[in-house]
Structure 1
Amino acid sequence: MDNYSQLLAFLGAAEHGNFSAAARACGMTPSAISKLVSRLEDRLQARLFQRGTRNLTLTEEGAAYLVSARAVNNAMAEADSLAEAFPTRVSGALRVHTMTTFAKHQIIPWLPEFLAAYPGLSVDIQVGAQFSDQFDQGLDIAIHSGVLPDSTRIARKIGQSRWIICAAPEYLARHGTPEHPVQLLDHTCFSFGFSSVWNTWGFVVEGHAVTVPVVPKATFGQGDLLRDLALSGAGIVRLAEFHIGRDIQAGRLVPLLQSYGQNDVEPIYMIYSNRKHLSPRIRVFRDFLEQKLASSPWDTR
């Protein structure tokens, strides 16, 4: 039994004074309105109307019920109006997890503009080198590159980035520029301190895939420390183009061994938990990010 339909039929009858007028207003038949009101009276075990030949008159019980019925209907209307605003209202806290270097070099530059555009939104950016599924703990978005683990999450490709071996002009002036991948073994190199494909320095030599077993002089768990060492002229590093693209464009770092097919391209994904009913805060962040990355601002080719 639809209690709310009974309540609406009662309100219509009370407002219009008879079942026929209430039926026209509600798009129903007079008999349907009458039956709903009768069921409501049976459920409440109280007579709500005195039924005349042409008109209805509220009983004392009906007048008391009308006050409560109007309050319930107003509350329902208010709830519906709030729900209708959900698809467009952008507010609350957005939790994002991404790589430290991506946050620093690709999000921070435009984040103030984004926050100014959506003043009701706050952003909590958490960083880590590798993807960790924290959606059950309230994470909204993850942004990571490379091969992702099998998951039921939604992974949307938002760009791609090459891995580039490079060094500062000062280092190359002092130690020479390697002309063949194997010559890297005679240079000072730095890499990541954790197990990752990012530490694989691969090339194509005479049509064959070759990996040079670079022995790093020092390793770090954070890419910006590798970048700092390279910029200081201390040695050679292998880093993502989204991380060092501006340094290469400005001449602060020089790509090496490009003719040996060292062109590892890695996709960059935005990951979220569900494709359906995407919240406004996730949708606007996704659209803003995609707009900023549409031109691949780090591309050095």
Structure 2
Amino acid sequence: MNEKNIVDNYRQLMAFIWAYEHGSFSAAARANDLTPSAISKLISRLENRLGVRLIQRGARQLTLTEEGVAYLNSARNVVAAMNEADSLSEAFPNRVSGVLKIRTMPTFAQHQILPWLPEFLEKYPSLSVDFELNAVYQDDFDRGVDIAIYGGILPSSSRIATRIGESEWITCASPKYLEKYGIPLHPQALLQHRCFHFNFSSSWNNWDFMENNESVIVPVKPIASFSQGTFLRDLALRGEGVVRLADYHIGEDIKQGRLTPILGNFRSGITEPQYIIYANRKLQSPRIKCFIEFLQQKIRNKPWQIDV
């Protein structure tokens, strides 16, 4: 049934109720800014659609048939249910509840969301959060995703992308590795080191540096590659090799001395924007609004920013 038919069927139902409640087509028409002919035609279409007579037309009053009495009860139940739904909807703009579906990078979720997630859930006890983790951005809003958080260059689309910060990719290794294999003093020296990177096509695998005011990309030869940055970080922490990861991922490791930035004199300084992405700026549910506000509050001071 198309939208036009649904609207017309509802008008027929209401015309029937109005006619019964006001006792005549004329009175129903006056009360609802219609003509008696319009009321009569709507009820006739209703009876034809149902295949039964609902009203006995009399000279002075309307009388319901047996079928009309049964239909009146059902029609009133429909209107009552719609009114109840409307009354419930009045609370929607302020009610934070339901399931919030978020798609983001595993490393961002682990290091920049997970630390404050319990606080967020405690503040909104009627809300649950469903995370879908993937290193690569995909537009999954049509299958229920509410929010996505990703960095870099996003594909052109009608989605709303709000910049929430920026990150820098840092080349680093553990003190244990550097003590064993030596500190690379030039980007080209990385070709003789044990390096790890991602196993999919991405700018994240471009190990870029600046030399003589020119950008240089070193084609490192990874001895192992992974789809998740978590494994790269773990290998680096174990002293197995050199990695290049985002500061929001390894910032705390560097602050605590678990990883050491290298080739600082050749640092490119290139930053990657971070975005929170959602489908529509208008008609945004409270569960989406509250998460966006909470996230922006937590990262407004760039907690992952480090001096290298």
Q: TM-score range with shorter-chain normalisation?
A: 0.7 to 0.9
For residue 220 of structure 2, the aligned residue among 198, 201, 214 is: 214
Give the Cα separation in 2 of the matches to 1:243 and 1:72.
54
1:293 aligned residue: 299
1:263 aligned residue: 269
Count of residue correspondences: 287
Unaligned regions of 5+ residues in structure 2, if any? Answer: 1-7, 48-52
- Post-superposition Cα deviations, 1:122-151, rounded to whole Å, max 9, x if no partner, equal 111111110112222111111111111122
Whether 2:243 is the aligned partner of 1:237: answer yes
1:157 aligned residue: 163
Give the Cα separation in 2 of the matches to 1:219 and 1:79.
53
Tell me the TM-score normalised to structure 1 length: 0.78
Give the Cα separation in 1 of the matches to 2:64 and 2:80.
22
- Conserved in 2, the CA contact under 8 Å of 1:6 and 1:39? no
Q: Residues 69, 300 of structure 1: CA spacing in aligned structure 2 closer, same or farther, 3 A cutoff?
A: same
- Post-superposition Cα deviations, 1:52-97, rounded to whole Å, max 9, x if no partner, equal xxxxxxx999xx9999998676545433221111111111112111
Give the Cα separation in 1 of the matches to 2:134 and 2:288.
20
Give the Cα separation in 1 of the matches to 2:196 and 2:19.
78
Q: Aligned letter for 1:173?
A: E
Q: Residues 74, 136 of structure 1: CA spacing in aligned structure 2 closer, same or farther, 3 A cutoff?
A: closer
RMSD in angstroms over aligned alpha carbons? Answer: 3.5
- Post-superposition Cα deviations, 1:194-251, rounded to whole Å, max 9, x if no partner, equal 1111010111101111111111122122111111111111111100001001001111
Tell me the TM-score normalised to structure 2 length: 0.76
- Conserved in 2, the CA contact under 8 Å of 1:167 and 1:237? yes
Q: Structure 2 matches for 1:44-63, cutoff 5 A? A: none
- Aligned partner of residue 170 in structure 1, secondary structure: helix
- Post-superposition Cα deviations, 1:254-295, rounded to whole Å, max 9, x if no partner, equal 111122232221111111222221111111111111111111
Q: Residues 234, 87 of structure 1: CA spacing in aligned structure 2 closer, same or farther, 3 A cutoff?
A: same
Bigger shift: residues 177-186 or 193-202: 177-186
- Over the matched positions of the two proteins, sequence identity in percent amounts to 51
- Aligned partner of residue 121 in structure 2, secondary structure: helix
Q: Residues 203, 37 of structure 1: CA spacing in aligned structure 2 closer, same or farther, 3 A cutoff?
A: closer
Unaligned regions of 5+ residues in structure 1, if any? Answer: 52-58
1:227 aligned residue: 233
Give the Cα separation in 1 of the matches to 2:105 and 2:42.
60
- Post-superposition Cα deviations, 1:6-45, rounded to whole Å, max 9, x if no partner, equal 799899989xxxx9xxx9xx9x99xx9x9x9999999999
